[in-house]
Amino acid sequence: MNPFSSGTRLRDMIRSIRACKTAAEERTVVRKECAAIRAAISENDQDYRHRNLAKLMFIHMLGYPTHFGQMECLKSIASPGFPEKRIGYLGLMLLLDERQEVLMLVTNSIKQDLNHTNQYIVGLALCALGNICSAEMARDLAPEVERLLQFRDPNIRKKAALCIIRIIKKVPDLAENFINPAASLLKEKHHGVLLTGVQLCTDLCKVSAEALEYFRKKCTEGLVKVLKDLANSPYAPEYDVSGITDPFLHIRLLKFLRVLGQGDVDASDCMNDILAQVATKTESNKNAGNAILYECVATIMSIEDNGGLRVLAINILGRFLSNRDNNIRYVALNMLMRAITVDSQAVQRHRATILECVKDSDASIRKRALELVYLLVNESNVKPLTKELVDYLEVSEPEFRGDLTAKICSIVEKFSAEKVWYIDQMLKVLSEAGKYVKDEVWHAVIVVITNASNLHGYAVRSLYRLVQTAGDQAILVRVAVWCIGEYGDMLVNGTGVLDIEEPITVTESDAVDVVETAVKQHSSDLTSRAMCLVTLLKLSSRFPSCSQRINDIIVQYKGSLVLELQQRALEFSSIVDKHQNIRSALVERMPVLDEATYSGRRAGSIPAVVSTSQGAPINLPNGVAKTTSAPLVDLLDLSSDDVPVPSSSGGGFLQDLLGVDLSPASSQSGTNQAQKSGTDVLLDLLSIGAPPAQSSSSIPDMLSTSQDNKRSANVLEQLSSPSVASGGVSTPLGSSSMMDLLNGFAPNPSKPENNGPTYPSIAAFESSSLKVTFNFSKQPGNPQTTLVEANFSNKTPNAYTDFIFQAAVPKFLQLHLDPASGNTLPAHGNGSISQNLRITNSQHGKKSLVMRIRIGYKMNSKDILEDGQINNFPRDL
């Protein structure tokens, strides 16, 4: 009986499995068969062993476990007949793998078979060994295999060669033994042996550097000759594939030449001629030819530089790119990525074609082309390239958009020359594909906008326009809402209109409309709504006429189930209602976010404590330290989004910002100032540097002892000093802490109420143009702190504008400056500016106060600065 007729049984089994309609049926059939096979195995059935093995293999292919059949394989291998051996070895390779211990049992059988007289059996054994031998088996059987390398039959030789590849992979130490025999293989005529011989040498070079050297020196010319003969050989029917003789051998040889030529100039020189010949002579209308050309180009790119060859290679790639066959284009794009590192000029020439590939219908080509475009971008071509990419973004498919957006954003960020262009592109991207944009990216957009002070108006107007059309993009809405909040007045007044803009009139209520829509939208998430509430607060200060309407909107969120929104709504609405006088100070313009620090922090990534709010921090001072009870803590953040947790990094940053040393800066807080005064405002609001030695007011005692809070507590005192806060109002629970802070300043009256010992006023500073007087008072029970009211008056006939008073004190003193009453000083002392200061003397009683002052103002459009030192403070202040 012919064992390879597969018997009716295997066929029947296959038929019955095919006839199964459901998976459950199939499982039943398979289980029955497995049971039958197991029974046959335990009976040690000889006749049907091969058939059972064939069935087992089929079942294994379907994915069912078949380990009970492994011993059968071994028995089959051990049997003398060729067919059984054959199927046994096949089973061995399919059903087992190198990790099974059963494999060790086969070693002896294989050894015997390697020495068999029948060369086919030898071949079988070599095959099995080459596919699944383990390290121990390799060591045992290596000498046998080496002997077989010299066998008379080429088929055996070729199989032995491949077997050796596996052996040296498993046991690299044995590699040296095989260098010489491998080199002799290269002189073979038989293609099969040559093929495997070349492969063996390539792998030897990878494993052992010594082999690489040997082959480089001895074999390079020989190889070149072989390749030449092959390329020039006449038609050989055996190996011909569409007109080319044995393209596989071509490719293997080219690969080996690549390994040899890489890093070595001499070897590369040898190869130049043949590479040129192959590159030019090979026909490229068939796939086989293209395959050879592809390998040739890869080799040219990897070996040492030869200008002419490289140009040739890139031309070939260019031809590939315009080929209609997708496969060829894909392969060309792949290779071009490697070529860029070598010669980017040449690749730039093909930029247009590559851009077309980005829009191709094939996903693989699109991906490759996009990566290539990303590598091609440089300063000169960034604008047209970005325009193309952004245009494509609108029509691209959703899976691709994520990648495309990320790439566009990084290109724009890296190469943006002008801020206008950057803002334009980023806004377009946000409106098209906002949801794929990462958080850091849109934070960066905000940072850039704040830095470009001349573009504030332009930015906010563009955002306003965009949000009308693309209002469903959450990220765009967030950025827009933030900007409207900050620069709403510019939006309405039309300040800073650039030439390229179209005129647009926006009323205050339009602006509020936009924010109202955003906050009410179902699709807005928590962050967006929180940002909208903050913006509404800012707008209520900038557009006082809409204040009532804004309050109505905010009030709706007082009962929100989300704690964040409820808290904000309660606090903001109380500010709008009852504290109009501090409102404008609270929501002044943000200080410009320092880009360098910001990108440094991005790299350092300080984790945010309060994850909810990441937007719009405003200059609201920190109410309470504990993050759970007040979301205001995150609002103190002076740079974009991370919370100034009492951690070293956060605190350190604030320290830097404020300057630990008492640098001379307490300026007037005004509006629309440049960055310097921005930081000065901060210095103003927060105490300078070192933790306050004391603060006897009850408010800081209520708060935690964190550094930030002490400062901010003082800030609150300061801010509320101009207002007379009414005390003891019963308030809703959420904002009680805030209200207490605002109301609880009764013990710290700011106006000199003269509750303590009085001190004479002094003329602190007098020049021909200006006079400064200080009036002193102290609070009862707080001898270290002095409240000073400074009055400035103008002695000249010219009025002064932009009047700024700055003061510096030595380290043992602490200085707080309140906002001045104005910054214009009329002439001839017809009016005066007054400003309150508070000085705390930590060396009270031991040292008296001294102060250096600097006054800056504009007279007749000229900037004037005056300096002075005040030494005549009363002694016991």
Partner 1 sequence: MGIRFILMVNKQGQTRLAQYYEYLTIEERRALEGEIVRKCLARTELQCSFVEHRNYKIVYRRYASLFFLVGVDNEENELAILEFIHLLVETMDRHFGNVCELDIMFHLEKAHFMLEEMVMNGCIVETSKSNILAPIQLMEKAS
Query: Does 194 help bind partner 1 (rule: CB under 8 A)?
Result: no
DSSP 634-685: HHT-SSSS----SSHHHHHHHHHHH-SS--S------SS--HHHHHHHHHHH
Work out whether 323 is an interface residue with partner 1 (CB under 8 A). Answer: no
Is 553 a binding residue for partner 1 by CB under 8 A? The answer is: no
Which of the residues 397 through 426 are near partner 1 (CB under 8 A)? none
List binders of partner 1 among 41-60 (CB under 8 A): 54, 57-58
Q: Considering only CA atoms, which of 275, 259, 177 is closest in space to residue 224?
A: 275
- Sheet (strand 762-766) strand order: 762-766, 770-779, 782-794, 832-841, 813-817
Report, in Å, the least distance between residue 184 CB and partner 1. 19
Size of the site for partner 1 (CB under 8 A): 73
Applying CB under 8 A, which part among 107-115, 159-167, 375-383, 656-664 lies near partner 1? 159-167
Among 49, 157, 159, 478, binds partner 1 (CB under 8 A): 159
Question: For residues 94 and 480, which CB has a smaller minimum distance to partner 1 in the complex?
Answer: 94
Cα of 303 vs its chain's centroid, Å: 35
Query: Between helices 547-555 and 508-520, what is the axis angle to 10°?
Result: 10
Among 131, 584, 655, 698, indicate the residue that binds partner 1 (CB under 8 A): 131
Examine residue 799 and tell whether it contacts partner 1 (CB under 8 A): no
The 8-class DSSP code of residue 3 comes to G
List the one residue from 277, 327, 584, 731 that touches partner 1 (CB under 8 A): 327
Question: What backbone torsions phi and psi does residue 638 show, to the nearest 5 degrees?
Answer: -90, -20
Per CB under 8 A, the list member of 141, 149, 249, 346 interacting with partner 1 is 249
Least Cβ distance, residue 369 to partner 1 (angstroms): 12
Q: Considering only residues 82, 184, 384, 736, which one is a binding residue for partner 1 as defined by CB under 8 A?
A: 82
* Residue 156 found at the interface with partner 1 (CB under 8 A): no
Q: How big, in percent rounded to 5, are the helix, strand and coil portions of the chain?
A: 60, 10, 30
Q: Which of 16, 45, 107, 120 binds partner 1 (CB under 8 A)?
A: 120
Q: Does 122 bind partner 1 (CB under 8 A)?
A: no
The single-letter DSSP state of residue 847 is B
Whose tokens are 């040889």? That residue is 253
Binding mask 361-400 for partner 1 (x = CB under 8 A): xxxxx-x---------------------------------
Subset of residues 820 to 859 that bind partner 1, contact rule: CB under 8 A: none
For partner 1, the closer of residues 48 and 120 by Cβ is 120
Return the number of the residue (17 or 420) whose C-beta is nearest partner 1: 17
13 vs 447, beta carbon nearer partner 1: 13
Q: Which stretch binds partner 1 (CB under 8 A): 188-196, 521-529, 558-566, 603-611?
A: 188-196
73 near partner 1, rule: CB under 8 A = no
Q: Which is nearer to partner 1, 131 or 842 (CB)?
A: 131
d(CA 273, CA 257) in angstroms, rounded, equals: 13
Q: Which one of 107, 302, 326, 451 is in contact with partner 1 (CB under 8 A)?
A: 326
- In the block, which residue shows the tokens 């043949």? 274
Smallest separation (angstroms) from partner 1 to the CB of 395: 18
- The binder of partner 1 chosen from 20, 177, 192, 771 (CB under 8 A): 192
Q: Is 178 in the site for partner 1 (CB under 8 A)?
A: no
Report whether 189 contacts 154 (CB < 8 A). no
How far apart, in whole angstroms, are the C-alpha atoms of residue 149 and residue 474? Answer: 70
**Alpha helices in 587-621, H assignment, sequence order:** 595-604
Q: Which is nearer to partner 1, 157 or 579 (CB)?
A: 157
DSSP 8-class letter at 241: E
Looking at 49, 157, 166, 583, which residue binds partner 1 (CB under 8 A)?
A: 166
Reduce the secondary structure of 429-476 to three states and give it as a string.
Answer: HHHHHHHHCCHHHHHHHHHHHHHCHHHHHHHHHHHHHHHHHCCCCHHH
Rule CB under 8 A: choose which of 290, 669, 697, 750 binds partner 1.
Answer: 290
Q: Of residues 229-248, which lie at the interface with partner 1 (CB under 8 A)?
A: 238-239, 241, 246-248
Angstrom distance (rounded) from CA 416 to CA 419: 7
For 109, phi then psi, to 5°, come to -60, -45
Q: Where are the alpha helices (DSSP H) in 659-762?
A: 675-685, 698-702, 707-720, 736-743
- Residue from 7, 69, 88, 130 touching partner 1 (CB under 8 A): that is 130
How far apart are CB 492 and partner 1 at their closest, in Å?
53
Coil, helix or strand for 39?
helix
Residues facing residue 772 across a β-bridge: 765, 792
Q: Which of 329, 461, 538, 583 binds partner 1 (CB under 8 A)?
A: 329
Residue 335 CA, distance from chain mean position:
26
Residues 426-455 that bind partner 1 (CB under 8 A): none
Q: How far is the CB of 18 from partner 1 (least distance, A)?
A: 8
